[in-house]
Amino acid sequence: MTVRLLRTIAEVRAAHDEARHAGRTIGLVPTMGYLHAGHASLMDAARAECGSVTATIFVNPLQFAAHEDLSTYPRDLEGDLALAKAHGVDIVFAPDVEEMYPSGPVLTTVSVREITATLDGASRPGHFDGVATVVAKLFAIAGACRAYFGEKDYQQLLVVSRMAHDLSFPVTVVGCPTIREADGLAMSSRNVYLGPEDRAAAPALKHCLDAGAAAIAAGERSPDAIEATMSSVLAGEPRATMDYVAAVDARTLERPASLRGEVRLLVAAQVGPARLIDNLGVHAD
């Protein structure tokens, strides 16, 4: 099969209208490109459940702060198209910035309160407004569809899900499991920034999460104690500088006095030139 590379909003809308008219469900996989096996798993999930699959590739300037890596974010459209073809994608939508934001500075933005107040929302002010705004645009362009997002960006998944619900988009948001390297490192396009020594240190994030999960399995329910355990493990890797560790309610990201039910452990750390994030779901009886 071939992959159709579309560059304009009008082309995508026409293609999706045609697919829906033929009775096919649209599967949407929003990405910023430089695709890897984690993205491929989202495409595979969409392919298994939908009659037509569209992957979007757009490095969204709204979600980068002035000091962040917008200009150096890795890009490889040729490689992305090859991966998309191998995983059954029908359409790749790869617009330029002028197509997505034709009037220059954006005057209308989408903000999801409360669940963006902590974690990456606190560390990267404005980031989730940029994410919610571009995803809202993509949902408006795609129309009725199933949209696939990885749990690796767990807070983002909650933000997008709540935004779609609150604004009544005809979109079902589907969360898919994190895909990891053999040593546990969560796959991320930013892993390309890691030199050999930093790459060897990066699995410390997963070790930190595993230590928190082990503490919960042993009966610990205090977020303070679990986060202290996680921090201690991460501190054992000198090349990793912690941004945050957290043990929170998986639905709200709130930090209860005692953990019960579905818990999400999260970590963010700077490892060499790369800011890495990871998380793990745990059940606390």
Q: Which of 264, 274, 34, 58 is nearest to 151 (CA)?
A: 264
Among 124, 153, 176, which residue terminates a domain?
Answer: 176
Cα–Cα distance between 208 and 261 in angstroms, integer? Answer: 21
Q: Which active-site residues does the annotation give?
A: 39
172 and 232 together in one domain: no
19 and 160 together in one domain: yes
Among 141, 176, 211, which residue terminates a domain?
Answer: 176
Residue 184: inside a domain, yes or no?
no
Q: Residue 6 carries which DSSP code? A: E
pLDDT in tens, the chain (285 residues): 799 999 999 999 999 999 999 999 999 999 999 999 999 999 999 999 999 999 999 999 999 999 999 999 999 999 999 999 999 999 999 999 999 999 989 999 999 999 999 999 999 999 999 999 999 999 999 999 999 999 999 999 999 999 999 999 999 999 999 999 999 999 999 999 999 999 999 999 999 999 999 999 999 999 999 999 999 999 999 999 999 999 999 999 999 999 999 999 999 999 999 999 999 999 999
11 and 100 together in one domain: yes
Cα–Cα distance between 217 and 144 in angstroms, integer? Answer: 41
143 and 195 together in one domain: no
Q: Which of 260, 212, 217, 262 is nearest to 234 (CA)?
A: 212
129 and 240 together in one domain: no
| SS3 (DSSP) at 105 | coil
Q: Which of 208, 263, 255 is nearest to 231 (CA)?
A: 208
143 and 8 together in one domain: yes
Q: The domain that contains 255 carries what CATH number?
A: 3.30.1300.10
Residue 183: inside a domain, yes or no?
no
B/e letters for 160-180, b = 16+ CB within 10 Å, e = fewer, are: bbbbbeeeebebbbbbbebbb
Residue 68: inside a domain, yes or no?
yes
Domain coverage including residue 239: 189-284
Angle at 283 between CA 259 and CA 249, to 5 degrees: 45
| Number of separate domains in the chain | 2
